[in-house]
Structure 1
Amino acid sequence: MTQDIAVDLGWVPSACTLPTAEQPLRVAEFDALFADAVRGVTRPERARLRLDLAFGPGNAARAAELMARENGCCSFFSFALTVADGGLTLEVAVPDEHIDVLDALQSRAVSAAAR
């Protein structure tokens, strides 16, 4: 069985070095993580996004693996995954010139988590 992946790649920054053919798959991975694990989205600062994830080793491992791969092609991202007090938090920061990418990531997280 094949699955069609229809995603808007207009927000993928030109600085991204991930091959174009792989970009829809990566976006789909983000969407799946957001849909499965995001429990809250806040923006403590203009250039920083905080995602509260469902606590569990599977979600922590999945987020860490995705963030490591994402940082390999979009090195401007700064990720911090924190496990504390029975909670799991992913913080994403970007330099000011990539605020639009963070805005889009926030939008996707909110939309996916609402489903």
Structure 2
Amino acid sequence: MTTESPETDWVPQACTLPTAERPLRVAEFDALFVEGLLGVEREGPAELRLTFDASVEATARELVARESGCCSFFGSGFDAGGEGELVLRVSVPAGQVDVLEGLAARAEGVLA
């Protein structure tokens, strides 16, 4: 039996991060969003664009690299945004759209 919390119930079974560590990873994303998220845009059902203040670049790159290690289905890339901005583009296969929805909801919750 899996005991997922409402905060991590969108995390897919394909994730290799130990279940006990998942709430910590979600908290790391929440902290990154609080610290530097400027905007969230859906670029399609399976694509998300997150714009950050460039001051969080090192943290964002490190966290995304670790996340890609346990959820290899994530496609991600960084681009320069406007002045002082960093853009993270995230994509998932069609079967993992719920995961992207969960990430988008957490990000949008911070901006609300």
TM-score between both structures, scaled by the size of structure 2: 0.89
How far has the Cα of 1:18 moved from its partner?
0.3
| Alignment partner, residue 3 of structure 1 | none
Of 39, 48, 69, the residue aligned with 2:66 is 69
Task: Give yes or no for the alignment of 1:79 onto 2:76.
Answer: yes
**Could you list the runs of 5+ residues in structure 2 that have no partner in the other structure?**
none
**Could you list the runs of 5+ residues in structure 1 that have no partner in the other structure?**
1-5
- The percent of aligned pairs where both chains have the same amino acid is 50
TM-score between both structures, scaled by the size of structure 1: 0.87
Q: Hey, what's the Cα distance between the residues in 2 that align with 1:65 and 1:107?
A: 21
Q: Hey, what's the Cα distance between the residues in 2 that align with 1:70 and 1:101?
A: 12
| Alignment partner, residue 48 of structure 2 | 49
Give the RMSD, CA atoms, in angstroms.
Answer: 1.4
Question: What amino acid does structure 2 have at the position aligned with 1:40?
Answer: G
| Alignment partner, residue 106 of structure 2 | 108
Q: Hey, what's the Cα distance between the residues in 2 that align with 1:77 and 1:17?
A: 13
Q: Hey, what's the Cα distance between the residues in 1 that align with 2:95 and 2:6?
A: 23
| Alignment partner, residue 17 of structure 1 | 16
